[in-house]
Structure 1
Amino acid sequence: MARRLNRPASIFALLYFATLLGTILGLVQVVQIPLGALPEDSQRLSATPVWHFMHVLGGSAFGLLGPIQFSRVLMGKYGLLHRVVGRVFVVSGAMISLSSLGLLWHFPDTYSVAVNYGRLLFGIALGVALTMAMLAIRRRDFTRHRNMMIRAYAVGIGTTIVSMIFFPIYVITGEPPKGLVADILFLGSWLGCIMFAEAVVRRI
């Protein structure tokens, strides 16, 4: 299993699979907002369409560009393209960070106190990680730059990992997890993604 995950194709497939569901769900909501077709439990998003659109657009670009950006082929043979894609990647991450904080500000009662503190922490952590990555590359510290970008990517796609767990439960039961179980699944999924990225950083 470990040998398979070391293959670039396997890693790309895993990363894209992890981001695909969240991207699709977000894009569906973007279409539903102007049509007035949002489900009842998502009606609140119509009050802040700009923040939500910003979050989905940034998240989609971030999730799709991340695996490409970490490709050794792109970094080694196509340095200019790597830098251009990297700038788009950073801007997309900044959009996620700002919009997540904006949505949290407008909808503080959507989740529990524990989850809201997690969203606040992760939203800030994403911005900090991207800033540290950019400062590192300005100093030509390529190792630190790469490591902080990996950490930023893990924080940024954390919500998609949450979606991968919540969505099947929603389909099977007809409602998302609630209460303490929801808090544990939400924060645990996000933290698990970050811990996996930290293991990758320490291994490479």
Structure 2
Amino acid sequence: MKLKLNRFFFLKAILYGSLVYFIYLLVLITIQYIPINYKIAFLNLKQEEIKLAYYKLAFFSHVYSSIIIISLGLTQFSKTIRNRFSSIHKISGKVYILLILLVASPSGLIMSYHANGGLISQISFLTLSILWFVFTLSAYTSIKKRSFKKHRNFMIRSYALTLSAISLRLFKYGIVSVFELPPMDTYKIVSVLGWTINLGIAEIIIRKTTHKNMYN
């Protein structure tokens, strides 16, 4: 039993440690746009779009809010924070939800129209933005109704989509390392894999925890 608990905490520490590391890498990417710079990193490919005022607003709103959202999401799944520091859990959860509903999801929706890779990427990011909004809103309405299980499940789905900012880059790195594909073909693939795989894993986690609770 003790060995099993030690293994659980070890795996949990690796998971959280990995997430913190990847969030740190995202912070480094975000810092490139501070102060606002129109000719760096991703924006080098969007010189036509950046001439549009609404795209500039959407892009920087999305980039700056997303790094806060992905960091706050970590606090939502810690039993220690939820049980011993419930005020932190509630406040960070409210900010997480508000930023997605009012800033990150709407701005992502706008950006999806101008996504690299054509129609496939556009549809993929459009779907991602809509599902992100729906799952996050459902998490909010569930907790208002004190439906804790539904709230937890929708938060898992919401954060799975939030983490697509990380998984998209990981898939891109993996594909580029193994295959020699045109850049836009790679982007089309990762635009889909970046969130669908995450959502699939989220559903597995939800099903496993629901099944476990039924027999405990």
TM-score range, shorter chain: 0.7 to 0.9
When residues 123 and 130 of structure 1 are mapped into structure 2, their CA distance, relative to the original with a 3 A threshold, is same
Paired residues of 2:132 and 2:161 also in contact (CA < 8 A): yes
1:100 pairs, out of 105, 108, 119, with: 108
Paired residue type of 1:31: I
Does 2:88 align with 1:84?
no
- Residue pair 1:129, 1:151 contacting (<8 A) in 2 also: yes
Q: Conserved in 2, the CA contact under 8 Å of 1:170 and 1:176?
A: no
Number of the residue aligned with 1:156: 162
Question: Counterpart in 1 of 2:19?
Answer: 15
Structure 1, unpaired ranges of 5+: none
Whether 1:184 aligns to 2:189 is yes
Shift of 1:90: 0.7
Offset of 1:78 from its aligned partner?
A: 1.4
Aligned to 2:45: 41
1:51-200 to 2 correspondences below 5 Å: 51-94=58-101, 95-105=103-113, 107=114, 110-167=116-173, 177-179=183-185, 181-200=186-205
Tell me the distance in 2 between the aligned counterparts of 1:149 and 1:44.
Answer: 36
Counterpart amino acid of residue 61 in structure 1: I
Q: Displacement of 1:32 after TM fit?
A: 6.5
Moved over 6 A (4+): 168-173
Matched, 1:31 2:34: yes
Letter in 1 for 2:204: A
User: Per-residue deviation at 1:104?
Assistant: 2.3
Q: Is the 8 A contact 1:33 1:45 kept in 2?
A: no
Task: Pick the structure with greater CA Rg.
Answer: 2
User: How much does 1:5 deviate?
Assistant: 7.8
| Residue range with higher mean Cα deviation, 191-200 or 41-50 | 41-50
C-alpha RMSD over aligned residues: 2.9
Q: 2:214: which partner in 1? A: none
Deviation at 1:73, TM superposition (A): 0.6
TM-score by structure 1 length? 0.82
CA shift for structure 1 position 4: 5.4
CA drift at 1:137:
0.4
Residues 172 and 19 (structure 1), Cα distance of their counterparts in 2 relative to 1, 3 Å cut: farther
How many Å separate the matches in 2 of 1:5 and 1:187?
A: 32
Amino acid at match of 2:147: D
Q: Between the two structures, name the one with larger relative contact order (CA 8 Å, sep ≥ 6).
A: 1
- Equivalent pair of 1:51/1:103 in contact (CA under 8 Å): yes
CA deviations on 1:67-104 (whole Å, 9 max, x unpaired) are 12210111111112211111111122222211101212
